[in-house]
Chains A and B, each alone.
Chain A
Amino acid sequence: MLTCKELVARSSDLLDEQLGWREKLALRRHLLLCRNCRRYLRQMRLTQATLRLLPESPSPDSERLADHLAELRRDSARR
């Protein structure tokens, strides 16, 4: 049977749907029996969700850049 270490090694591929059905089945079977790995995978999903929500550091000039781009667009439309 698959070990915990092997499950962790393939966990990203599981999350990204990169596994064939046979491998996926082996992982699912391990997860059914292993509380630690279920916890790991649940917390890895939580980590992913946290990264998704982590605010991006705003770049200070972005509004000025946007205004400049809008101006360029209006100029080229006029021509």
Chain B
Amino acid sequence: MPADDSELLSRLLAGDQQAFRTLVATYQGAMRAVAIAIVGSAHADEVVQDAWLAAVRNLDGFQGRSSLKTWLLTITANTAKSRLRKVRRDVSLDDLPAPHGSIDENRFAADGHWSPAPLAWHEDSPEALLAEDELRECLEKTLLGLSELQRSVLLLRERQGLELEEICNLLEVSLSNARVLLHRARLKVFATVEHFEETGEC
């Protein structure tokens, strides 16, 4: 168990309100991403709510064998799965069209070279890119255009920093499927930033 966790945990056990606010603010997003991947957005909020209640009920049983984050995400995944009548066996790898396309085969000549070549972007830090309100909105739009599973895999990996293996275990998808989902999602987000850098608009 990480050091920050044990400090937070002792305050949680004491019922400290501020500690619970920190806990919810820190992990709610990741829990939502897990829930959406398994039951879809329509039921995700209910699942997250139930998972929080289960976590509080079982707080005394938290042994610190894993991080709080892993523990909470496992509870969320289990809560979500128990809601499903049957566990989804076939993972949809359907690729929905994105607002600015992707880096697909149209970007390459017959010999496999870039055509056209990637343009150099104007900004070279994430802070500078995100200073543009329009790009932020544009990215949100692209994220919403991804399938729920694809979006969750992307956010769990990039925003929450989960290892691929952990994502596969939580969502019960194979490593190869997770790799495909993640790669396609990244290319769409890349295409969105590229489009914005090229045209200055969304």
Contacts and interface: CB of A to CB of B under 8 A. Distances in A.
Contacts of B125: 46, 49
A12 B182 contact: yes
B171 interface: no
Interface string A65-76: 111011111101
A44 B56 contact: no
Contact of B126 (A52, A62, A66, A77): A52
Interface in B137-167: 139-140, 154-155, 157-159, 161, 164
B136 A54 contact: yes
Nearest to A3: B112
B53 A46 contact: no
Q: Is the interface of A mostly helix, strand, loop or mixed?
A: helix
Contacts of B121: 43, 46
Nearest to A58: B25
B68 to A, nearest CB: 14
Interface in A9-47: 9, 11-13, 16, 18, 36-37, 39-40, 43-44, 46-47
Nearest to A51: B158
A63 B25 CA distance: 8
A4 B125 CA distance: 25
A13 to B, nearest CB: 6
B43 to A, nearest CB: 15
A76 B57 contact: yes
Interface of B: 12-17, 19-21, 23-25, 28-29, 32, 49, 52-53, 56-57, 59, 103, 105, 108, 111-114, 117-118, 120-121, 123-127, 129-130, 136, 139-140, 154-155, 157-159, 161, 164, 179, 182-183, 186-187, 189-190, 193-194
Interface of A: 3-6, 8-9, 11-13, 16, 18, 36-37, 39-40, 43-44, 46-59, 62-63, 65-67, 69-74, 76-77
